[in-house]
Structure 1
Amino acid sequence: MIESLLVANRGEIARRIIRTARRLGIRAIAVHSEADAGLPFVTEADEAVCVGPANPAQSYRNVEAILAAAKSTGAQAVHPGYGFLSENAEFARTVEASGLIWIGPGADAITAMGDKINARNLMAAAGVPVAPGTTDPAADLDAAVAAAAEIGYPVMVKAAAGGGGMGMGVATDEAALRSEYDKVRSFAERMFGDGSVLIERYFPRVRHVEVQILGLADGRVVALGERECSVQRRNQKLVEESPSPAVSPELRERILAAAVRAGEAVGYRNAGTVECLLVPRERDSEGDGPGSEEFYFLEMNTRLQVEHPVTELVYGVDLVEEQLRVAAGLAPTFDPDALAPRGHAIELRVNAEDPKRFLPGPGVIKTWVEPTGEGVRVDSGYVEGNTVTPFYDSLMAKLIVNGATRAEAIERARAAVAAFELSGPKNNLPFFAELLENQEFLSGDYDTGIVSRMR
């Protein structure tokens, strides 16, 4: 097993990785910005190095400073967490070229999946369903208009190099397409340094379901079930649950098999996620449903996901430990041929944002009392007295609950939300209290438009 690990991230995910490292007897090394010096992940690490000022470009995305920290502390491996440099293929190559172990998929897999058009084409060739769309970037507006006419409106205009719900627009006709194309291309050039645009069929009512995959050290790729991620605002997730209430046993078998093929197509190693769109089946005259008839590949996230804890609770695994074992060339802690889910888990992302418009609301945390009890887990990045700054993502904590059934998990989530004492920054706990009483959510028959319908 690896003996020392540098965590190239911050907040709750850094703290969560450090927790597993220390449980395994691995020396945990944190890097942090000047703004984060007082956060728990820094004090809980065995060693910590300041790598720059608050600006992420000068700290958490500062490759030179991070590698210098790894060298000065004698780190053996680097875990990138999620966000920042986690899906930067050049960083992965540089880490390995420096003689360090990279905790993640190979740089070639990151590159292959980093471009949405290339990823779509690879998946189609591997027999993974993809939505109707362009196989090459729409080089200009005329090409985009021609592609949309062939695909059929409405269409989604996407930045090929985008991610995290950013760089997308919907066009219901040619006039809208002309406007959205320029917006998305300009945004993509500014944010990602690549203005390539993909035109894809847009489905007005969809569910967002993803599959957790793990590429093992022996070359096999296994799937650890699916997660439902349809509760979103601005195309970004707020709630995840596993298993999905929309997925039947027959559909589960198909979607998990497709995810494994996706991983095998790029020789995937370590943890990753295959994201899919599910087009819900309309209820018939008997009122049967919910369900889905079609699913399409959306993208592959070549890293550990924010929502990985729901899979951990349902499958009884520690995905960070499994990542470390794969990187060290070791077998998993579980039997890949006997994976079986148990119960139901739900994750709520507790953000420093107002619960109505979801606008950021950073500030000093005056009260922070986490809920406890059976089936309750909190992965947090802050404690009372810390300051949530405007420099980074608004995520403060993840409230995760599990139970024998979905109904039991929801009951525990209600109690945990009510028991979470949090004041200072704005927070979205009141939204979760509302959601957990919403009949559409309770029925399990919801889609990505649920939050807008609540607002």
Structure 2
Amino acid sequence: MPEINKILVANRGEIALRVIRTCKEMGKKTVAVYSTPDADAPHVLQADESVHIGPAASSESYLVIDKIIKVAKETGADAIHPGYGFLSENGDFSERCEEEGIIFIGPKAKAIRLMGDKTAAREIMGKANVPFPPGTKKELKDVEEAEKVADDIGYPVLVKAAAGGGGKGMRIVENKDEFRSGIKAAKSEARNAFGDDRVYIEKYLVEPRHVEFQIMADEHGNTLHIFDRECSIQRRHQKVIEEAPCSILTDELRQEMAEAAIAAAEAVDYIGAGTIEFLVDAERNFYFLEMNTRLQVEHPVTELITGLDLVELQILVAEGKELPISQDDVQMNGHAVECRIYAEDPRDNFLPSTGTLTKHRIPSGNGIRVDSGVEEGQAVTINYDPMISKLCTYGNDRGHAIKRMLRALDEYEIAGCRTTIPFCKYVLKHESFTSGNYDTHFVPDHFSKEKIDAEMTNDEKVKALAAALLKMEDSGEENSQKPKARATNGRSSDWWKNRNKKH
């Protein structure tokens, strides 16, 4: 397979910028694609070329395979990196790239489809002797069959969508009386989210921890694990704070789970970067949850404790090269924590809080990494995921990384919208988190509006009030659909318009 010279990044925001940076270090040319509201986004300005692909709606821009392929051909891109989200786990997209002679920097279509179908994945894991929670091995044919399974394994149970993730199409059913309504609600949400209402049932685990293993595989039969991450701090079944490594794993349990992760990847002839997600119960039994056939949002914490560049490894594998490291070369040092800084209001059930970033001053210093896709003066809109940045800290040990994160959160200045910074501070100071004795129920068990208000300093309260007032003042301007001119990195918008780019 020839060396890749130019990579189209089929994504936006911080992950697009993250990929572009590694491409530059490797001497690869880059092409950015953008929707109308992303016209002057950082990833667009940093790429060698950029092409407009449609309006704000992702269904008319970032999710349109034909548009992405057309841009790749017109710009001479010989590879596409999908990032995460959008088309990253779309088997049709991977297959189409192969048909068009474009390298897809990710797994083959077959692996994406097998692991994307949760019921098919459970069957495969069973054959590979990877443990998964008691429940159905195939999608349910009718409610009566489902009810019998639930009775057999015992309540509470989880009803989960067969084709999807992110907490959509998922319901916890506490008892038999709630079962039929829970099935109906899960199927309806799954149909709306994924166009597929198939569901399956598994035992709901007590005090579950969400622990995942990063894997990397090449075409030459090498599959490595790159250690573990703890991702149990979640809201709406979506992660907010992650850390690496997981603090509860013994050396023996870590090795056992790592071997299961490698077996899971090899069972579908996996190539590239992927993540095997497990649930670990109160007795430290672990069970396969799902595989994400892409790079994860939280990959920076793995990079911080190993010194590896996962995007670089993805590109090398996509070029058909053998992984330049062996399992013995993968070493873990220190501890890393990631806080996802969302434009959300933790005092109002984490609802999106849109607005213009009138101030965005990131923290700095030893052991701090900030991956951001927006800059001061840009608007955070309802069109896409409300994540402003990923704030990561590295320390000699867990306590050091947490203290450094608290310092970084104190330094982080954002005005124009509410954010999850106060929530992240609350979590990192909570005894359950600092002791490592927490699970995926942290938010319902320990968090409330009243508790976070009590923890806030007077300075934080003033900042929150200022953000609310600025949002009110900006609301009239936001109703105008015209984009504002904005200077970026000292360059005027006229400079940007005249830049030698393909539009």
User: What is the TM-score normalised by the length of structure 1?
Assistant: 0.96
What's the CA shift for 1:225? 0.3
Give the drift of 1:193: 1.2
Shift of 1:322: 0.3
1:389 aligns with 2:381: yes
C-alpha distance in structure 1 between counterparts of 2:192 and 2:180, whole Å: 19
Select which of 384, 400, 403 maps to 1:408.
Answer: 400
Matches of 1:193 and 1:434, distance apart in 2 = 38
Matched, 1:362 2:354: yes
1:351 corresponds to = 342
Q: How big is the shift at 1:382? A: 0.5
1:122 to partner: Cα distance: 0.3
2:324 & 2:379 partners in 1: Cα distance? 38
How far 1:355 sits from its partner (Å)?
Answer: 2.4
Distance 2:338 2:256 in 1: 25
Q: Which amino acid aligns with 2:380?
A: V
Residues 169, 188 of structure 2: 8 Å contact kept:
no
| Aligned counterpart in structure 1 of residue 16 of structure 2, from 14, 23, 33 | 14
Work out which of the two has the higher radius of gyration on C-alpha atoms and give 1 or 2.
2
Contact 1:8 1:31 survives alignment (8 Å): yes
Among 431, 434, 437, the residue aligned to 1:439: 431
Could you say what secondary structure the match of 2:422 adopts? Answer: helix
The Cα of 1:280 is off from its aligned counterpart by 1.8
Between 443-452 and 298-307, report the one with greater CA deviation.
Answer: 443-452
- Per the alignment, in what secondary structure is the counterpart of residue 436 of structure 1? helix
Contact 2:206 2:282 (C-alpha < 8 Å) held by counterparts: no
> How much does 1:337 deviate?
2.8
Give 1:447 deviation, angstroms: 0.4
Q: How does 1:231-270 map to 2 (within 5 A)?
A: 231-270=233-272
Letter in 1 for 2:295: L
Amino acid at match of 1:119: A
State the distance in 2 between where 1:436 and 1:132 align. 33
Corresponding residue number in structure 2 for 1:88: 90
Q: CA RMSD in A?
A: 0.9
1:294-343, Cα deviation, whole Å (9 max, x unpaired): 00000000000000000001111000000000000123343333221000
Please state whether the residue corresponding to 2:7 is helix, strand or coil.
strand
**8 Å Cα contact 2:274/2:295 also seen in 1:** yes
* Alpha-carbon distance, 1:275 to partner: 0.3
Greater share of helix residues, 1 or 2? 2
Q: 1:364-395 CA deviation, whole Å, 9 max, x = no partner? A: 00001111110000000101001111011111
Q: What is the aligned counterpart of 2:54 among 52, 55, 77?
A: 52
Structure 1 CA distance, aligned partners of 2:428 and 2:64?
A: 41
Identity over the aligned pairs, expressed in percent? 48
Counterparts of 2:102 and 2:353, CA distance in 1: 38
Match in the other structure for 1:307: 298
Query: Residue 396 of structure 1 aligns to which amino acid in structure 2?
Result: I
Q: 1:6 corresponds to which letter in structure 2? A: L
- List 4+ stretches of structure 1 deviating above 4 A: none
Which of the numbers 435, 443, 454 marks the counterpart of 2:447? 454
Are positions 1:198 and 2:200 aligned together? yes
Q: Give the total of aligned pairs.
A: 444
Would you say the 8 A contact 2:217–2:323 is kept in 1?
Answer: no
- Which residue identity does 2:329 align to in structure 1? A
Aligned-partner Cα distance in 1 for 2:267–2:9: 29
The amino acid that maps onto 2:322 is: A
Whole-Å Cα distance in 1 between the matches of residues 20 and 166 of structure 2?
Answer: 24
Map of 1:285 onto structure 2: none
Q: Is the 8 A contact 2:242 2:339 kept in 1?
A: yes
1:180-195 → structure 2 map (5 Å cutoff): 180-195=182-197
Q: 2:364, 2:408 within 8 Å by CA — same for their partners in 1? A: yes
- 2:206–2:281 CA contact under 8 A, matched in 1: no
Structure 2 portions without partners, runs of 5+:
449-503
Matches within 5 A, 1:6-405: 6-281=8-283, 292=284, 294-356=285-347, 357-405=349-397
Give yes or no for contact 1:219–1:269 (8 Å, CA) kept in 2: no
Question: What do residues 208-239 of structure 1 show as CA deviations (whole Å, max 9, x unaligned)?
Answer: 00000001231211100010000000110001
Distance 1:115 1:167 in 2: 13
Instruction: Return the letter of the residue paired with 2:389.
Output: A
Q: Partners of 2:365 and 2:324 in 1: how far apart?
A: 27
* Aligned counterparts of 2:330 and 2:120: Cα–Cα separation in 1: 31
1:38-84 deviation digits (Å, cap 9, x = unpaired): 11011111100111100000000011111111111110100101011
CA-to-aligned-CA distance 1:242-264 (integer Å, 9 cap, x gap):
01011111100100000000011
TM-score after normalising by structure 2: 0.87
State whether residues 7 and 80 of structure 1, in contact with CA within 8 Å, keep that contact through their aligned partners in structure 2: yes
Deviation, 1:25, is: 0.8
Contact 2:222 2:323 in 1 (8 A): no
Displacement after TM superposition at 1:138 (Å): 1.2
Question: Is this contact kept in 2: 1:116–1:299, CA < 8 A?
Answer: yes
